[in-house]
Structure 1
Amino acid sequence: MGRHQRAESLGLISFVCCALVGCGGMFLYLQLAPAFWQLSQRRFMACAAIVAACGVISFIVGYIHRMRLLDVQKGWIHTVRRIFEILALSIVYASTLFLMSYMLFSLVNSIMGKAIFTSYIPALTAAFAGVSGYLTFVQAELMNAKTLSALLPFFVIAGVSTASSTTTDPHWFRNNFSELGDRTTFAARMFNTTLILGGICIIIITYFAISELIATYRIVRPNGDIAIRQPNVSYKIPRFKVRITILTVMLVLSGVAFIGIGTFRYTPHPILHNVFARGMPVLMFIMLVALPWLAPQLSKAFFAISDLAIVVCALVGISWLMGNNTLTNVEALAAMLFLGWFIGFSRQIAAIEADRIQRQILAHQVINPAALDKMIDAEEQAGFSTVLTDMSSPMLANEAKNAIQSLAK
Structure 2
Amino acid sequence: MAYLRWAPAIWQLSQRRFMAAATLVGACGVVSFVIGYTHRIRMLNEHVMWAIHLRRSFEIFALSFVYAVTLFLTSYTLFWVLNSMMGKVIFEMYLPALTATFAGVCGYLTFVQAELMNAKTLASLLPFFVIAGVGTACSTTNDPHWFRNNFSELGDRTTFAASMFNITLVFGGLSIIIITYFAISELIATYQVVRPNGSVGIRTPQVSYHIPRFKVRITLLSILLTLSGIAFIGIGTFRYTPHPILHNVFARGMPCVMFALLITLPWLAPQLSRAFFVISDIAILVCVIAGISWLQGENTLTNVEALAAMLFLGWFIGFSRQIAAIEADRIQQQLIAHEVVNTAKLDDLISDEESAGFNTVLTDTNSPVLAAQADTDQHRRQVASQLARN
| Runs of 4+ that moved beyond 4 A | 69-73, 402-409
Partner of 1:16: none
**3-state DSSP class of the match of 1:173?**
coil
Match of 1:289 among 255, 258, 263: 263
Listed one character per residue, the Cα deviations across residues 339-387 of structure 1 (whole Å, up to 9, x for unaligned) are: 111111001100111111122223333788xxxxxxxxxxxxxxxxxxx
1:37 aligns with 2:15: no
Return the alpha-carbon distance in structure 2 between the equivalents of residues 407 and 313 of structure 1: 59
Alpha carbons of 1:32 and 1:251: their partners in 2 closer, same or farther (altered >3 Å)?
Answer: same
Partner of 1:276: 250
Pairwise CA RMSD of aligned residues? 2.3
Partner of 1:258: 232
**Structure 2 residue identity aligned to 1:35:** A
Return the alpha-carbon distance in structure 2 between the equivalents of residues 73 and 185 of structure 1: 52
Return the alpha-carbon distance in structure 2 between the equivalents of residues 70 and 249 of structure 1: 33
Alpha carbons of 1:326 and 1:219: their partners in 2 closer, same or farther (altered >3 Å)?
Answer: same
Structure 1 unaligned regions, length at least 5: 1-26, 223-233, 369-399
Partner of 1:359: 333
**Structure 1 residue identity aligned to 2:270:** P
Alpha carbons of 1:366 and 1:106: their partners in 2 closer, same or farther (altered >3 Å)?
Answer: closer
Shift of 1:75: 2.2
In the TM superposition, 1:334-345 aligns within 5 A as 334-345=308-319
Return the alpha-carbon distance in structure 2 between the equivalents of residues 221 and 102 of structure 1: 48
1:128 aligns with 2:102: yes
What's the TM-score once normalised by structure 2's chain length? 0.83
Match of 1:316 among 285, 290, 293: 290
Partner of 1:19: none
Partner of 1:248: 222
What's the TM-score once normalised by structure 1's chain length? 0.79
**Structure 2 residue identity aligned to 1:185:** T
Shift of 1:235: 2.4
Return the alpha-carbon distance in structure 2 between the equivalents of residues 330 and 405 of structure 1: 59
Shift of 1:62: 1.3
In the TM superposition, 1:188-267 aligns within 5 A as 188-219=162-193, 235-267=209-241
Return the alpha-carbon distance in structure 2 between the equivalents of residues 255 and 71 of structure 1: 34
In the TM superposition, 1:42-81 aligns within 5 A as 42-68=16-42, 74-81=48-55
1:28 aligns with 2:2: yes
**Structure 2 residue identity aligned to 1:276:** F
Partner of 2:134: 160
Partner of 1:384: none
Return the alpha-carbon distance in structure 2 between the equivalents of residues 55 and 109 of structure 1: 22
**Structure 1 residue identity aligned to 2:275:** A
Shift of 1:221: 10
Please, which moves more after superposition, 308-317 or 358-367?
A: 358-367
**Structure 1 residue identity aligned to 2:143:** D
Q: Is the 8 A contact 2:70 2:125 kept in 1?
A: yes
Size of the aligned set, in residue pairs, is 341
Listed one character per residue, the Cα deviations across residues 191-248 of structure 1 (whole Å, up to 9, x for unaligned) are: 00000000000000000011001110014699xxxxxxxxxxx721111111000000
**Structure 2 residue identity aligned to 1:296:** P
Partner of 2:205: none
Please, which moves more after superposition, 262-271 or 142-151?
A: 142-151
Partner of 1:377: none
Partner of 1:299: 273
**3-state DSSP class of the match of 2:42?**
helix
**3-state DSSP class of the match of 2:242?**
coil
Partner of 1:348: 322
Return the alpha-carbon distance in structure 2 between the equivalents of residues 270 and 279 of structure 1: 14
Alpha carbons of 1:308 and 1:71: their partners in 2 closer, same or farther (altered >3 Å)?
Answer: farther
Return the alpha-carbon distance in structure 2 between the equivalents of residues 357 and 407 of structure 1: 26
Partner of 1:182: 156
Listed one character per residue, the Cα deviations across residues 155-200 of structure 1 (whole Å, up to 9, x for unaligned) are: 1000000000000001100100000000000000000000000000
Listed one character per residue, the Cα deviations across residues 49-91 of structure 1 (whole Å, up to 9, x for unaligned) are: 0000111111111111222179685222111111110110011
Q: Is the 8 A contact 1:366 1:403 kept in 2?
A: no
Alpha carbons of 1:257 and 1:76: their partners in 2 closer, same or farther (altered >3 Å)?
Answer: same
